[in-house]
Amino acid sequence: MPLFMWVLLSIIICQRLIELIIARRNENWMKARGGIERGKEHYKLFIILHVLFFVSILMEIWMRDVSNLKINYILLSLFIFTQIIRIWCIRTLGRFWNTKIIISPHFSLVKEGPYKYVNHPNYIIVGIELLVIPLLLGAYVTAIVFPLLHILLLTVRIPKEQKALAEKFSD
């Protein structure tokens, strides 16, 4: 496997681990201030999806000869752009950014940054990443399967999140 593939994959995995640390810290902070988690039953499916995503990429790379794969600069640019938007999402929500649905009775709904334009910008970013990352790494089956699985999970997640937000911010 070309060096750039290992570097890119390592950066993405490290980024995800750092995000999980941030999410856990934010979760603890919110729960200490009365935050209540909703939609616990489907959260483990997201964990499974994301772990299998990386396993699938590695399996595809292992099974296919990708030694001659060249960097696609258009896809790399799109990936970098998604990371900028991802960071914008995380910074906008600050302590409220999380990988879980946590509603706090003491705080207002955030409607600035990318959330001023779209209700769920991070879900869009993740969907794009689930397509672009495998394409960059030559894992074409993963690029088809995992965005579809992500959309399927969002058909459960978004209604639960919308319901929780509606209950909290109905007035």
Q: What is the pLDDT of residues 62-117, one digit of tens each?
A: 998 888 899 999 999 999 999 999 999 999 999 999 999 998 878 888 889 999 99
Token pair for residue 128?
Answer: 């794009």
Task: Please give, one letter per residue, the 3-state secondary structure of 45-111.
Answer: HHHHHHHHHHHHHHHHHHHCCCCCCCCCHHHHHHHHHHHHHHHHHHHHHHHHCCCCEEECCCCCCCC
Q: What is the pLDDT of residue 67?
A: 85
Any idea how long the chain is?
Answer: 171
Cα angle value 164/169/171 (rounded, 5°)? 135
Phi and psi angles of residue 67, each rounded to the nearest 5 degrees, phi first: -60, -25
Q: Name residue 27's amino acid.
A: E
Q: Closest by alpha carbon to 110, among 88, 87, 93, 86?
A: 93
| pLDDT value, residue 151 | 97
CA distance 39 to 59: 31
User: In this prediction, what percent of the chain has a pLDDT beyond 70?
Assistant: 98
Give the per-residue pLDDT at 82: 97
How much of the chain, in percent, has pLDDT values that exceed 90?
Answer: 77
pLDDT of amino acid 170: 63
Do 35 and 23 meet the contact criterion of CB atoms below 8 Å apart?
A: no
Q: What is the pLDDT of residue 171?
A: 53
Does this model's pTM top 0.85?
yes
DSSP single-letter state for residue 102: E
Ordered by where they begin, the domains of the chain are 3-168 (1.20.120.1630)
Widest distance between CA atoms in the chain: 58
Mean pLDDT of the chain: 93
Instruction: Give the C-alpha separation, 148 to 131, whole Å.
Output: 9
